[in-house]
Amino acid sequence: MPARRSSQLQTGRAHKVAARTAAKSALSKRIAEVRKGLPLAELDRMAELLRIDRAQLASILDTSLRTLQRKAEADARLRPGASDRLARIKRIHELATHVLGERDKASRWLTTASRGLGGEIPLQMLDTDIGTQRVQQELREIEYGMPL
């Protein structure tokens, strides 16, 4: 193998290793943020993106609206459990955007009853891990055009 080709392969491998390291670092940072508790502003951004009211999203996060109001007054953060569910919703919204091609389409799909999910509203299924897995499976089936 010529020296130039070998050098190019080594450079390519180095870039892949650097990209994996950066991705792991970003993931570790996000895990720490969720464990600390996400800022309430993230909840408000997600509610706006999904075009639902704060109370509906709070219900999915298993948090009362009154608790959110108190936390807003104190400039506090969500509990780790609610933060985890909010991060899950964001991740599924990003997947739906990838599959459907547009954020608005993803938001509509997540908030509308789905025949493929037995008439369930995908967003309401994201309160549990098993529900999230089923929504993710449905999105993959849409992406690949066949049941998995």
Q: In the prediction, which pLDDT does 125 show?
A: 97
- Domain residue spans of the chain: 1-36, 38-144
Write phi, then psi, for 53 (nearest 5 degrees): -85, 160
Report the Cα–Cα distance between both ends of the chain, in Å, rounded: 42
The pLDDT tens digits for 12-48 are 676 676 667 766 778 888 888 999 999 988 999 999 9
List Cα–Cα distances, 105 to 32, 45, 95, 99, 102, in angstroms.
31, 17, 12, 10, 5
Q: State pLDDT tens for residues 103-148.
A: 999 999 999 999 999 999 999 999 999 999 999 999 999 999 876 5
* Predicted model pTM: 0.79
